[in-house]
Structure 1
Amino acid sequence: MSDIKKICFDRILARDLHRAILFRNIEGTTRTRAISPIGKLWPNGSTLRVSFLGGTAQQHDVVKTFAPQWSRFANLNFDFGTAPDADIRIAFADDGAWSYLGTDAKGIHVSRPTMNYGWLDEAVVLHEFGHAIGLAHEHQNPEEGIKWNEEAVIRDLSGPPNYWDIATIRHNVLNKYAHDQINGTVFDPDAVMLYAFPREWTLDGFQTKENKTLSAMEKAFVAGEKMYPGRGSQPDAVELDVLEFEGTPASIGLPGEEDLFTFMVKSPGRYTIETEGETDLVMKLYGPDNRTNLIAEDDDSGKGYNPRIGADLIPGRYLVQIRHYNRTGGTGDYTIKVYK
């Protein structure tokens, strides 16, 4: 058997166990949509709170030393503390290295970790925090074209030290994302998000090296328009008036663009936030007074392909994030309103 090193695996939510799901019939048509890293990004400019569930001071220091490298390029910050409801909660169990992808972490109960380190070095810290900010495995890039020797991959990863079942192997290694499932670049052989695997795992002898630092392409990508641009800035959010029946006009002017809106709730009650128009949109609601606390997410609950969120809200300030469903190519006009 090949000299197989321990490698990371993704934690996925129950709703994401299948890459494609059939959505409800809208105006007499059906369409298949995919579950993917698209839609898992934190609001740009966020400060993500990070806490440790156990571990030693030395282990904590290793994570604190290397994780902030992402913040030199992505417009995100990490605040290491002891908050029990931190956005990223790290354990050090003998359970491999893994992390939930991006905002999937908000769906995990506060008593449970969202990231785990079964071993520690610079590469694994960067890799898992890459997942935590929404990056997928590079070898699952649809542009990479790796010709897997599936029998060898399954044989090796089924045994020590990983002991994965076939479904886990396919999810983490063999399956590729479709082009419309991801925001991506061409295949990056220098990415820290790429597994190191031996030539025996491919039919043509192709192999990859172990990458221990962020690649130039990764640095540019996380700082780009499709992830977290504007390092050091706080993107402006348009103020919405509650009970605004006419709606505020807005537009997704460029593919990958995200619009931010904010509104103030002064009295508790049931509030509705919705868009109108012909543009296919996705909406996320955060708050109160917290840009990373995801309250709800919606795609097509409104008219046509418009999102609508109804939620019982307490006093405080809320953030609404709007993007086109087709993040790689979609643009269009819409209006947005919030009412009680």
Structure 2
Amino acid sequence: MASNKTSSNQTPPQAGAQPLCAVKEMPNRPLDTHVNEHRAGLIRVTEKKWVNGTVIRYCFLDQPATWQGADGQKEAVRAAFAQWKGLGIGLEFREVNEPREAMLRIGFEGGAGSWSYVGRDNVDYATDPRERTMNFGWDLTTPYGRDTALHEIGHALGFSHEHQNPNAGIVWDEQAVLDYFAGAPNFWNAEKTRHNILRKLKPWETDGSEWDRDSIMHYQFPQGLILQPSQYRSQPLLPANGFSARDIAEALRFYPPLQPTLPELRPWESQRIQIGSGEQIDFMITPDVSRQYTVQTFGNMDTVMVLFEQMDGEDIFYAGDDDSGTDFNARIQVRLFRGRRYLLRIRLYYAQQSGEGAMMMW
């Protein structure tokens, strides 16, 4: 769901009058022309998700002054991160003060709407440390505002709008939708409304899931905008507050709890990759010799491979490669140091045959 406000001391609008979150429209990463629809679908449903185990650093921007948030608004965002972590997911969230260290950079500009980049778009496209990757444009201390914070963080974790699920069966009164969102409090043009409301996601963007009308990623809608299901012609569609059961299941599917111990990857030992699409396999690396190493996958599969160094109890990004949608294999060439510990995390998008992939370090 999205959210409501212009200043923190205003009374929240009644249901159906809320301003809503607007996702930034980004280009699809190009895939090789010979990639078939099934393979492309498996890539698209996962490509914006983070590698599980990532420490996502966020900061609050204080410049310009219009982006500054009051302490209560910041606390609401911190609480929302804690709620996502409280689901038991394998991601970590850490607040930092330096924008150059942050993957998520948060502003609180009233009147600018609430929005976020989606998943890895935060680091792939929003590369200027002075640039916001998320904004909150209304009070986050109301029930609707608290759901706003959860919703925008959901986008930052790679989850899309649920009301655009192609399996929802929603039939819109398109002109009524365009007219409604052109007015207060959203003032959206037709292009923005089509992108955020009327556009149906591709089936693979929701992984074929059924419609979840109580998802935290679902908007509220007043009566009269939806023709089917017919009950919403005469009543508003109001998702329940907080996470739905399916929200929790999907979060844990992509970001399950981390394993307490990991297998070790040693030079010249081949490791078979036997995981399903969207799943992940992790290895520990503790080099005996400081030198240049190569880590590479083998086989007809699409993966993202990320190497972290463990420093002071924290996993720091060291190197990575994403070979999805190409004829190449993921490959990292990097100098590793004796006495240090590294984590290698590999998420599979697609494999031509089950269990066909392998990886090796040398």
The match for 1:60 among 49, 68, 74 is 74
Equivalent of 1:48 in 56, 65, 71: 56
Partners of 1:277 and 1:312 lie apart in 2 by 22
Distance change >3 Å, CA 102–CA 234, structure 1 → 2: farther
Change in CA separation of 1:150 and 1:331 when aligned onto 2, cut-off 3 Å: farther
**More displaced 10-residue stretch of structure 1: 118-127 or 82-91:** 82-91
Q: Distance in 2 between matches of 1:178 and 1:235?
A: 36
> How far does residue 294 in structure 1 lie from its aligned partner after superposition?
7.8
Q: Do 2:49 and 2:158's aligned partners in 1 also have CA atoms closer than 8 Å?
A: yes
> Could you tell me which of 96, 111, 123 is aligned with 2:113?
96
The match for 2:357 among 327, 334, 337 is 334
Distance 1:307 1:151, change over 3 A: farther
Give the gaps of 5 or more residues in structure 1: none
Cα 1:12/1:126, change in 2 over 3 Å: same
Cα deviation for residue 91 of structure 1 reads: 0.7
Larger mean CA deviation between 187-196 and 74-83 belongs to: 74-83
Pick closer, same or farther for the CA change 1:326–1:56 going to 2, 3 Å: same
- 8 Å CA contact 2:278, 2:349 repeated in 1: no
SS at match of 2:179: helix
Q: Hey, what's the Cα distance between the residues in 2 that align with 1:171 and 1:38? A: 20
Change (3 A) 1:136 1:291: farther
Match of 1:322 in 2: 346
For residue 125 of structure 1, report the CA deviation from its aligned partner: 0.9
The aligned residue for residue 285 of structure 1 is 306
The AA in structure 1 aligned to 2:214 is: D
Q: Which amino acid aligns with 2:18?
A: K
Identity within the alignment, %: 30
Cα displacement string for residues 242-264 of structure 1 (whole angstroms, at most 9, x for unaligned residues) = 5x3xx522223444321123446
Contact persistence 1:48–1:79 (CA under 8 A):
yes
Query: In the alignment, residue 156 of structure 2 is paired with which amino acid?
Result: A
Q: Over aligned residues, Cα RMSD in angstroms? A: 3.2
TM-score by length of 1: 0.79
SS at match of 1:261: strand
Q: How does 1:66-145 map to 2 (within 5 A)?
A: 66-73=80-87, 74-84=89-99, 85-94=101-110, 95-107=112-124, 108=126, 109-119=128-138, 120=140, 121-145=145-169
Is the CA contact 2:324–2:349 (under 8 Å) kept in the aligned structure 1? no
Report the residue type matching 1:60 in the other structure. Answer: K
CA deviations over 1:72-130 (Å, ceiling 9, x no partner): 21233322342431232211013110111222222323222221100122111111111
Question: What amino acid maps onto 1:239 in structure 2?
Answer: E
Q: 2:217 is matched with which residue: 172, 190, 193?
A: 193
Structure 2: runs of 5 or more not aligned? 1-14, 62-67
